[in-house]
Structure 1
Amino acid sequence: MLTAFSVAPDSASAAEDGSVSEAVTAAVRAVKDSGLPYELTSMFTTVEGEWDEVFAVIKQATDAVVAVSPRVSLVIKADIRPGYTGQLSGKVQRVEEKLGE
């Protein structure tokens, strides 16, 4: 499964300039340390793996943000397709191939 998620502290926990990058870095570190394939973009982190391992990582990432903020926003979107792996890049590759036709 592919799961895109975004986790961020409330605005009261943001830096003076509104940045939440410190908290987000702690969340992404949890994803990176998991060893699961992932992709980081400006708005979401997408993780690939089995249900239990992906949601365990999302919980760890959320806990990292909860540690610095009394209130946290979490958005999750999942593509559940049993039997498929390598879709983190495979889905993009198929579209790029069609664009090149």
Structure 2
Amino acid sequence: MLVAFSLTPMGVEAGVADYIADAVKIIRESGLPNRSDSMYTMIEGEWDEVMNVIKQATDAVTPKAPRVQLIIKADLWPDMPNPLDGKIGFLEQRIADVASASPTELS
């Protein structure tokens, strides 16, 4: 299971790094494969363990802001090994296949 989620403290100043730093620390220390970018954090694992980490991360933010918005998007692809990197590898292979195909193969 691969989950992308975002925690957004509401009713605080524009910069939220101070509000979510503890949440990111919890995610990184969870031992689950994860990656954060400027909009989302992705975490890979079994349902219960992923949701537990998301709950812990959310609980770290809620005392610091008057309101917290949580957005979760989950990809349940049982046959995809290591979805955090596997999905990107799958895409990159398809791009390479298209790039190496002759123009007649593409039509």
Q: TM-score, normalised by structure 1?
A: 0.89
Work out which of the residue numbers 32, 38, 51 in structure 1 matches 2:47.
51
Question: Could you say which residue in structure 2 is the equivalent of 1:33?
Answer: 29
Question: Could you say which residue in structure 2 is the equivalent of 1:9?
Answer: 9
CA distance in 1 between partners of 2:92 and 2:69 (Å): 32
The runs of at least 4 consecutive aligned structure 1 residues that moved more than 3 Å come to none
| Percent identity over paired residues | 46
- Root mean square deviation, CA, Å: 1.2
Rg larger in structure? 2
Amino acid at match of 2:34: Y
Contact 2:80–2:86 (CA under 8 A) maintained in structure 1: no
Q: TM-score, normalised by structure 2?
A: 0.84
CA distance in 2 between partners of 1:63 and 1:8 (Å): 12
Q: How many corresponding residue pairs?
A: 97
Question: Could you say which residue in structure 2 is the equivalent of 1:85?
Answer: 81
Residue 85 of structure 1, CA deviation: 3.4
